[in-house]
Amino acid sequence: MNISAADVKKLRDATGAGMMDCKKALIEAEGDFDKAVDILRIKGAAKAAKKAGRGTGEGIVYSYIHHNERVGVLLELNCETDFVARTEDFHELAKQISLQIAAMKPRWVKREDVPEEVIAKEKEIYTEEMKDSGKPEHIVEKIVENKLNKFFEDNCLLEQEFVFADEKGTKIKDLITSAIAKIGENIQVSRFARFEIGE
Amino acid sequence: MNISAADVKKLRDATGAGMMDCKKALIEAEGDFDKAVDILRIKGAAKAAKKAGRGTGEGIVYSYIHHNERVGVLLELNCETDFVARTEDFHELAKQISLQIAAMKPRWVKREDVPEEVIAKEKEIYTEEMKDSGKPEHIVEKIVENKLNKFFEDNCLLEQEFVFADEKGTKIKDLITSAIAKIGENIQVSRFARFEIGE
């Protein structure tokens, strides 16, 4: 499909989209100008939705210091507006998450944050453990996968079971999802630090 | 100066010091056995002092949250005993250091913590800046060194000027040295975290 520079320019002028996006849209629309405009509109809406999903530029920095002062947690909890950041519900959520971090020592927020080399090392250990099991390879693979999931559940904050949950099996991500539903804004844990004396 | 293996062995047996230390001491003492023993004793005492200087296994985790809740600091401040960790003086020091971190955004505790690649990058920038200055190489080197020192003073907590100092020019390390003198125990900043919303 050959798209002329003039067509790209016309579409840019009509939609305000970027040059590469216009070119891609024209290729996708097989040169049909109106169809290309529709494609760009849909993409634009999707981008906006995605942005809203990520738009947690407000929030609070919260800290919890254990009464013996030997364990402390610093947490950045984000939401979409300054208004929500000041609510009691939002502070209560920050407190619960901080207590969880103090008690359960997660190492990362989510599994995507675990470095590749850590995952590789864990896999190596699990595979080594199964070496003489005599189990077929696909079973070993499945077991290694399960163990790795367990590792994520133990070490990633969002996947940990909430230690003060009323209902057994409630994970930190469930706690946050509930808060999002209640508060009506997207909420995200950006980062945390946990210091312990003598660690 | 020729030191025989037999002399080294004799000194080792007499003092319990390591082989290399014994050899060095004998060289320094120009073969005089008693003098070598003295040298090793002095070095041993210095080593012990150094060790005691490092023995900061106690302390507190302290936090400071700015009143707008958009900036927070977590600090691990160490001392030698639990007793000192509970004193008001020690807490006051922790507070002052935390306020400094909140206000002046240090990136590392001390210059030894700055990664090699960061230092290399800084040096590269400074050298590039001086490229067309026409200054001789040894002058350029001196200027680069000065700029690097300035970089450490800006970015390393211990080298920063204390922002609330009564006396101009007081660095954080001076603040800590004063506290050590007053409290009578070695004190160390192990680590800190500083979170800011929208950073």
- How far apart are the C-alpha atoms of A41 and B35, rounded to whole Å? 88
Same domain, B172 and B96: yes
Answer yes or no: do A78 and B191 touch at CB < 8 A.
no
Q: Is A193 on the interface with B (CB under 8 A)?
A: yes
Tally of structural domains, chain A: 3
Helices A19-28 and A5-15: crossing angle in degrees, nearest 10, is 110
**Torsional sign, CA B138, B139, B144, B148:** positive
Distance of alpha carbon A173 from the chain centroid: 10
Q: Residue B175's closest CA among B82, B112, B101? A: B101
Smallest Cα distance from A136 to chain B, Å = 46
- How far apart are the C-alpha atoms of B161 and B11, rounded to whole Å? 48
Q: Which residues contact B69 (CB under 8 A, 6 or more apart)?
A: A60, A61, A62, A85
- Express each pLDDT in B87-144 by its tens digit: 999 999 999 999 999 999 999 999 999 999 999 999 999 988 888 888 888 899 999 9
Same domain, A105 and A161: yes
Instruction: Work out the pLDDT band at A44, boundaries 50, 70, 90.
Output: low
Q: Is A94 on the interface with B (CB under 8 A)?
A: no
**Residues of chain B contacting residue A61, judged by C-beta atoms under 8 Å apart:** 65-66, 69-72, 195-197
The residue that leads in pLDDT, A47 or A138, is A138
Same domain, B18 and B83: no
Answer yes or no: do B193 and A197 touch at CB < 8 A.
no
Instruction: Work out the pLDDT band at A48, boundaries 50, 70, 90.
Output: very low
How many interchain CB pairs under 8 A, A with B? Answer: 77
Same domain, B83 and B174: yes
The string of DSSP codes covering B128-149 is: HHTTTS---HHHHHHHHHHHHH
Strands (DSSP E) contained in A22-82 are 58-65, 71-79
Q: Which of A190, A195, A197 sits opposite B74 (nearest CB)?
A: A195
**Residues of chain B contacting residue A63, judged by C-beta atoms under 8 Å apart:** 63-65, 72, 74
pLDDT in the model for residue A157:
98
Same domain, A99 and A65: yes
Query: CATH number for the domain including B165?
Result: 3.30.479.20
Q: Which of B62, B64, B195 sits opposite A191 (nearest CB)?
A: B195
- How far apart are the C-alpha atoms of B145 and B122, rounded to whole Å? 10
- Domain, as residue range, for A185: 58-109+156-196
Same domain, B140 and B129: yes
Distance of alpha carbon B156 from the chain centroid: 10
- How far apart are the C-alpha atoms of A37 and A27, rounded to whole Å? 12
Same domain, B192 and B160: yes
Residue type at B183 in one-letter notation: I
- Express each pLDDT in B12-61 by its tens digit: 877 767 788 888 899 999 988 888 888 887 776 555 445 445 578 899 99
Same domain, A91 and A171: yes
Q: Residue B86's closest CA among A95, A197, A63? A: A197
